[in-house]
Amino acid sequence: MTGDWLGARRTEVAVDRILDAAGQRFGRKDAATVGMHEIASAAGCSRATLYRYFENRDALYTAYVHRQSYRLYREIGAQIAARQDPRERLIEGILAALRNVRENPALASWFAARQRPIGGEMAEQSRVIKSLAEAFVTSLDTDEPDRAADRARWLIRVMISLLTFPGSDEADERRMIEEFVVPTVLPVERVGHKP
């Protein structure tokens, strides 16, 4: 056997270490203001090493957001797994996502009002986020799988809006989700009427 048989694992460990360091920096200051030199320093590597794995800041941002998106998707799935009603899964899924992002300083910094909201830009451009949102919408059993992509895209925009401009509290956001999101994402016959 020839070659570097640990090469792939070494790359994975290096990427994880860099992304962990980026997350630490994002937790301390707005993500848009974190430079590559800060991340390299926090990861304990040179800028040249950092650029070997990420060609630019956008590539690093994308990798970080995708890794966090998969993690959040799993966490939210576990949090709402017991809910069978599509309406409740939708509402609780959105609220859980908002809570999880807001409670994580590294993720919350992506939606800081003091800087340009790079979290919104990333969410709009990310195929991973779009796929995960579409999988969530499809899991609601809407009987209209051909519309799942459009509904997922709209759902991402609603969540970006709530992360950037939150409601007054979770009850206010729940009310907005029930009134405006549920009827759009779920077919009328699935929504039912709340007493």
pLDDT tens column, 104-146: 998 888 887 666 667 878 888 889 999 999 999 999 876 777 8
Cα of 173 vs its chain's centroid, Å: 18
Q: Judge whether 41 lies within some domain.
A: no
Q: Judge whether 77 lies within some domain.
A: yes
What is the mean pLDDT of the segment spanning 162-171?
A: 92
Q: Judge whether 153 lies within some domain.
A: yes
Q: Judge whether 2 lies within some domain.
A: no
Q: Which residue has the higher pLDDT, 44 or 191?
A: 44
Which residues, other chains included, contact 191 with Cβ-Cβ below 8 Å and sequence gap of 6+? 87, 182, 183
Q: What is the pLDDT of residue 3?
A: 60
Q: Which residue has the higher pLDDT, 159 or 189?
A: 159
Q: What is the pLDDT of residue 6?
A: 54
Q: Judge whether 50 lies within some domain.
A: no
Which residues, other chains included, contact 185 with Cβ-Cβ below 8 Å and sequence gap of 6+? 90, 137, 140, 142, 151, 154, 155
Per-chain mean pLDDT for the chain: 87
Task: Check whether 8 has a pLDDT greater than 80.
Answer: no
DSSP conformation class of 144: -
Q: Judge whether 53 lies within some domain.
A: no
**pTM for this one?**
0.82
Q: Judge whether 94 lies within some domain.
A: yes
Q: What is the pLDDT of residue 193?
A: 44
What is the domain extent for residue 131? Answer: 58-187
The tally of domains found in the chain comes to 1
Q: What is the pLDDT of residue 188?
A: 59
Q: Judge whether 160 lies within some domain.
A: yes
**Which region among 6-15, 34-43, 44-53, 153-162 has the lowest average model confidence (pLDDT)?**
6-15
Classify 54 as helix, strand or coil.
coil
Task: Check whether 42 has a pLDDT greater than 90.
Answer: yes
Q: What is the pLDDT of residue 117?
A: 63
